[in-house]
Amino acid sequence: MTKHELEYQEHLLPLTREELVARLREALSPKRFAHVCRVEQTAIQLAEQNGVDVEKASIAGLCHDYAKQRPDQDFIDVIHAKQMDPDLLNYGNAIWHGVVGAEMIKDELGVGDEDILNAIRQHTVGSNYMTKLAQIVYMADYIEPGRDFPGVEAARQITAQDLGAGVAYQTQHTLEYLIHKGQPVYPQTLVTYNAWVPKYQKENH
Ligand code: GDP
Ligand code: FE
Ligand code: FE
């Protein structure tokens, strides 16, 4: 079976891969659509290398930025309707499209698998505990072949050797970047930093 004919297991998603791809093409600009396709392929490779369910990696990779181009008001409405943490209202699209976007992915696309939804919730800000699937989506988003920033090659090499070390690398560099730019840091980003970065520093020295 080619990847295009792939029927996802019913309990993961009631759509074929082709139907899901069509939904994403509708929801996203061509550039963003190309990004989610590359994240899917990178996530599948990392799943094969790390013994993780490839179908879950495909679905999570494709869906992770589904909500990225929605207007702010859509997220604000969901935060209120689902009585999510009101502190979310102090942030913006960068945080919302994963944390709040997962709710739209559940309700609008029918993704019911909590492992996939958590990976999507955590794809920007991480978490103290991340499943291998969540680590894969977090890293695939950062190192997909279209990414080009100083350090991306190091991130690719580290991730190929040790997925968790890749998570630590990205978390440290994202926090450095946010601080350098004077951007607000979402509390969970700091939680992720404390859970992952010192641990890998110790192991590497
Ligand atoms: P993308 O959706 O594929 O562009 O990638 P991400 O979802 O990983 O990241 C979206 C943006 O959120 C990036 O520019 C990150 O630097 C930024 N970001 C990550 N963590 C935080 C945070 O704690 N606070 C803020 N303000 N931005 C963050
Ligand atoms: Fe994203
Ligand atoms: Fe992304």
**pLDDT value of position 4:** 52
For ligand 1, mutation pick of 37, 70, 124, 189 (most atoms within 8 Å of CB): 124
Closest-lying ligand to the alpha carbon of 180? 1
**pLDDT value of position 205:** 55
How far is ligand 2, taken at its centre, from the CA of residue 205, in Å?
Answer: 32
Is residue 3 predicted with pLDDT exceeding 60?
A: no
Q: What is the pLDDT of residues 141-199, one digit of tens each?
A: 999 999 999 999 999 999 999 999 999 999 999 999 999 999 999 999 999 999 999 99
Half-sphere exposure of 73 (CA within 13 A, CB side): 0
State the alpha helices, DSSP H only, in the chain. 17-27, 30-50, 54-63, 72-81, 93-99, 101-104, 114-121, 132-143, 152-161, 163-181, 187-204
Q: State the pTM of this model.
A: 0.96
How far is ligand 1, taken at its centre, from the CA of residue 28, in Å?
Answer: 18
